[in-house]
Amino acid sequence: MLTLMLIGALLWYVPQVTSKSQPIAGVPASPPLASVARYTVPAHGRACMPNVAVTSRSDEVWFSVYPKSAKGGGSPVDFLLTAPRYRARAHLGGGYPGGGASLRITPPATSVLATACFINRGDRPIVLVGSEEARAVSRSVPLTINGKQTPGDISLTFYEGRSIDGLGLFSTIVSRASRLTDGLLPPALIWVVAVATALGVPLTLVLAFHDALREDERPPGSETGD
């Protein structure tokens, strides 16, 4: 039975665990669910969102931006993050056709809550993609465009600047899960739970089945009661 599980795990789990991907460092505001909200930022205007968590591993920022009109491509955009003792800027050159933009940023030394601003450096308006659906809007509100409050938020995702496999990501998963228990389970204890589950569940099952089969083979007189 253990051999069966081992073969199954090798065939199913190993390819998943060893495949590499670029880990997400944080999603302050998710891409829209059902309906897309488009926020127009006028020429030389800016759109800002508060309470954007930026971690020490936020090496890249991703958002969707389009030129307002199809003619001539998009205006240049500056992405600016500001928090006490932290400031980072990234620049997107003009002339893009529109779509997802990924820019390198300098992450803070420790995680901070920053204000994220998209500054239109061009002479033509741009459109940023976000969400207005009540169940998809994050805590990074109010969104302001040129100082005016606007409902919804602009979709924003931070990525780490490296590619790692599932095994490499595991310690990050453990520390994030620990934080979401508010520290009730420290990372070391979550490691114990993970190992106990991965080994304990198969093992207890094998032992239970083995014990049951052995009990069935015993002569009726020597049975223990239940």
CB 50, min distance to another protein, A: 11
- Return the number of the residue (65 or 122) whose C-beta is nearest another protein: 65
CB 124, min distance to another protein, A: 29
CB 38, min distance to another protein, A: 18
Site string for another protein, 119-158 (x = CB under 8 A): ----------------xxxxx-----------------x-
Question: Which range binds another protein by CB under 8 A, 40-48, 73-81, 88-96, 104-112?
Answer: 104-112
**Bridge partners (DSSP) listed for residue 145:** 47, 148
150, two tokens: 């606007």
Q: Does 181 bind another protein (CB under 8 A)?
A: yes
Which residues, including other chains, have CB under 8 Å from residue 212's CB and lie 6 or more apart?
none
- Return the number of the residue (43 or 193) whose C-beta is nearest another protein: 193
Q: Residue count at the site for another protein (CB under 8 A)?
A: 66
CA-angle at 1, arms to 210 and 191, nearest 5° = 100
Phi, psi of 174 (to 5 degrees): -60, -45
Q: With residue 86 as reference, give the H or E element that holds it.
A: strand 86-92
* Dihedral (Cα; 208, 213, 215, 221), 10-degree rounding: 160
- Return the number of the residue (34 or 70) whose C-beta is nearest another protein: 34
Which residues, including other chains, have CB under 8 Å from residue 166's CB and lie 6 or more apart?
16, 17, 18, 19
- Return the number of the residue (123 or 215) whose C-beta is nearest another protein: 215
**Which one-letter DSSP state was computed for residue 222?**
G
Q: Does 201 bind another protein (CB under 8 A)?
A: yes
- Expressed in percent and rounded to 5, the helix, strand and coil fractions of the chain are 30, 35, 35
142, two tokens: 């109010």
Q: What residues make contact with another protein under the rule CB under 8 A?
A: 1, 4-5, 8-9, 12-13, 23-24, 26-31, 33, 51, 53-55, 110-113, 135-139, 157, 166, 169, 172-173, 176-177, 179-182, 184-185, 190, 193-194, 196-198, 200-202, 204-205, 207-209, 211-213, 215-216, 220, 223-226
